[in-house]
Amino acid sequence: MDDISIAIIGAGGHAKVVCDTLKISIQKKGSGKLLGFVDDDPLLWGKVFSGFPILGSIESIVDLDIDRVIVAIGSNKDRKRVYEWVQSEQYHLTNAIHPTAVIGTDVSIGKGVAIFANVVVNPGSSIGNNVILNTGCTVDHDCSIGQHAHIGPGTHLAGGVEIAEGTFVGVGTSIIPYRKIGNWSIVGAGSVVIEDVPDQVTVTGLPAKKIVKRDC
């Protein structure tokens, strides 16, 4: 297996977990090389973060000897914007999948996906491009997660749930079977979703109710 070189785009809290996930995965596989981070904050350039250098701006990757990148930015909107730039520049994307994640044999996983420790994704599910499945979340059978979405730590999606593009599902949320969450919506932490959620709204509570319409 080729020893590919990888750069992480972003140098914040989410990037730290992506870095740790990649380090553990590389150690387990015995292949791959993590070069460091790029970030558009000039105050970070030249510093060391999570044991690796911050090499320069995001666009500086054009001057680096890099085989693959992953966009490690927590904000769904910002992650989408940078992901689309990466695609337009025709860089190859890598996934960061923790070795403790349990993934069904017929699960479809897109590009640039982060799947952290103790995540479970059951058979028949589909994970879109640039998605975050955060620590300890569970995605049951036949779920669909749209691109640029973020499923928060400890969240549980029952069978057949559909999460549309760009949606954020907060920490510890539960969603009952076959519910649909619309594009670019937010489900507040600890909510229990028992009804479909429209596009571009924020819902929260037990059960989750709409509290605001969002401009996206």
Q: Which residues pair with 106 in a beta bridge?
A: none
Residue found under tokens 């890099």:
66
Phi, psi of 59 (to 5 degrees): -70, -15
Count of beta carbons in the 10 Å neighbourhood of residue 43: 8
**For residue 91, how far is the Cα from the chain centroid?**
18
Using CA atoms, how far apart are residues 157 and 134, in angstroms rounded to an integer? 13
Out of 141, 148, 150, 156, the active site residue is 141
148 flagged as catalytic:
no
Using CA atoms, how far apart are residues 82 and 146, in angstroms rounded to an integer? 17
Tokens for 7? 């750069």
- Please list the active-site residues: 141
